[in-house]
Amino acid sequence: MSSWKNLAALAVLPVLALTACASEQPAATAPSAGGATVAAGSDADIPEAVVDPLDVALVTRITTGSWYETYARAVQSQVDAFGGSLQVYDSNNDLAKMASNVDTAVNSGADVLLINNGTAEALDGPVQDALDAGITVVTYDSDLTLDGITQINQDDAALAGNGLQQISDDFDGAADIVVLSVAGYPPLDRRSEAVDAFLADHPESTEVARAGVVSGNSALDTQAQVDALLKQYPDPGQIDAIWSHWNEFTRGAFAALEAAGRTDIAVYSVDLTDQELPYFWNEKVDFEAASATNPSSIGQAQVRLAYEKVAGEDVEASVQVPPALVTKADLPAEEITFDQLADVVPAWSASSLEWPDWVAALESQNA
């Protein structure tokens, strides 16, 4: 099987498996906000290690964009539900500052350290210090593999596979694509590898150009780059599709296309938040599909995994969250809200993760 077909298979199977798992949950369980399950109204014994409030530190590479905002709200909400306290350390896209922030969190006496979008090169040393100090560490979208941490990641092969397969289907395997991505961020690097595999397996498709900026205003700066590309390729058919690896890039592309009146270019995106969902009903831009995971589910799961580790539960070293593919064809003619999306696309909030009964008991204790 070719590398691209492997990716395409990954894109489909996890969602099917999740849907099956969700349908098989016993009636005694009730869905949480993120789609995973906990026992409803549980009176289970709460592990002694999590009875008292925990101090949680979130060290994040960036704090910009609607995806991060949704994720961060979920982290805060789950920490609050467990009766803990949360301190967020913003690294302003500076890995040296991120390493320093980890040191600060360790010195503050945090019980739990959450990492968002870190790299092993920058953080292995400080995170090892955290582990040596007995601090529980759970990373998200990072490439750290130190013994003792748990990683939670989006399935980037499936994220990319979903979107690229949709582009292939929509353009019969022959599309001229602008890719919005940058190097140096582990999840974006993995998505770019999928693009390379796709192009190798689809020689009739081409990458016209690559753009995208991670900055204090990524959407605006990416808009300027896409605007320049639209001037460089003014004729319909020169660019068939834009494939965006981050929703902030997508927002920039959308603004540029809308301003230029270019309805001839289809947009496909990784990530989906309440900011991008309305694009599906905007007639000024052809927004076709988003391959995404629910940021609320990820934020909630990262906190719960950390508390499980503190409680002494057997937690896997790596947890992947498979995405759902949301297409224009899936959605009703009338606009829906972000909260209604799971009703239309059940895989959006489906999850194979199950939580011990004491999770609900701890939440009830702090309600």
Chain segment 193-228, per-residue pLDDT in tens: 999 999 999 999 999 999 999 998 999 999 999 999
Distance CA 363, CA 44 (A): 11
Indicate the CATH number for domain 156-290.
3.40.50.2300
Distance CA 197, CA 100 (A): 37
* Residue-level pLDDT at 27: 28
Indicate the CATH number for domain 48-154+295-323+350-366.
3.40.50.2300
Distance CA 242, CA 220 (A): 16
Q: DSSP of 90-151, one letter per residue?
A: E-TT-HHHHHHHHHHHHHTT-SEEEEES--HHHHHHHHHHHHHTT-EEEEES-----TT-EE
Max CA pair span of the chain: 66
Share of the chain above pLDDT 70, in %: 89
Three-class SS of residue 298?
helix
* Residue-level pLDDT at 329: 94
**Residue 71, CA distances (Å) to 13, 60, 172, 221, 299 in order:** 25, 11, 35, 23, 5
Whether the CB-CB separation of 191 and 153 falls below 8 Å is answered with no
Whether the CB-CB separation of 220 and 190 falls below 8 Å is answered with no
Chain segment 314-329, per-residue pLDDT in tens: 999 999 888 999 999 9
* Residue-level pLDDT at 31: 32
Distance CA 78, CA 85 (A): 10
Chain segment 1-15, per-residue pLDDT in tens: 344 434 444 343 333
Taking residues 147-151, report their average pLDDT. Answer: 98
Whether the CB-CB separation of 75 and 106 falls below 8 Å is answered with no
Same fold, 48-154+295-323+350-366 and 156-290: yes
How many CB atoms lie under 10 A from the CB of residue 73? 13
The two three-digit tokens of residue 53, written as one number: 């409030």
Asked whether the whole model's pTM tops 0.85, one would answer no
Domain boundaries, the chain: 48-154+295-323+350-366, 156-290
Whether the CB-CB separation of 158 and 191 falls below 8 Å is answered with no
